[in-house]
Amino acid sequence: MKVPFGEFSVTIPEPSAFLIHKFHLSSKRVDEAKRIKDIETAVELGEFLINICEHTVKMRTILNGLPARWVKDIKSVIEKNSPKIYHTMYRE
């Protein structure tokens, strides 16, 4: 995603993909401090993004394209760390 910044165009990650990446990465981290930081970043961003319908749809689309094992890991991290995101993403 490119955004203007002064005279420049800056490339930043798609927020929904970044969020999913952080949750997945946190489940693989050995370093506890980095794992906690990844989770905190993902929860804060995720709890903001789920209020924007467009991003909720993007997050679900991204998850649907991932291997089942990754989705299971991501879902577990979300369930443990953010009931708000979990209930929005996985409501029956």
Residue 74 burial (CB < 10 Å; 0-12/13-18/19+)?
Answer: buried
Structural domains counted in the chain: 1
Q: 5 - beta bridge partners?
A: 8
Q: 91 - beta bridge partners?
A: none
Which pTM value belongs to this model? Answer: 0.83
User: Is residue 5, in this structure, part of any structural domain at all?
Assistant: no
User: Is residue 9, in this structure, part of any structural domain at all?
Assistant: no
The model's pLDDT over 15-56, given as tens digits with 9 standing for 90+, comes to 999 999 999 999 999 999 999 999 999 999 999 999 988 889
User: Is residue 25, in this structure, part of any structural domain at all?
Assistant: yes
The model's pLDDT over 45-89, given as tens digits with 9 standing for 90+, comes to 999 999 988 889 999 999 999 999 999 999 999 999 999 999 998
User: Is residue 68, in this structure, part of any structural domain at all?
Assistant: yes
User: Is residue 23, in this structure, part of any structural domain at all?
Assistant: yes
User: Is residue 31, in this structure, part of any structural domain at all?
Assistant: yes
User: Is residue 3, in this structure, part of any structural domain at all?
Assistant: no
State how far the alpha carbon of 91 is from the alpha carbons of 9, 71, 79, 86, in Å.
38, 15, 12, 8
Dist CA 19 CA 14 (whole Å): 9
Which domain range does residue 41 map to? 14-89
The pLDDT value given to residue 33? 95
Dist CA 74 CA 16 (whole Å): 13
User: Is residue 1, in this structure, part of any structural domain at all?
Assistant: no
The pLDDT value given to residue 6? 86
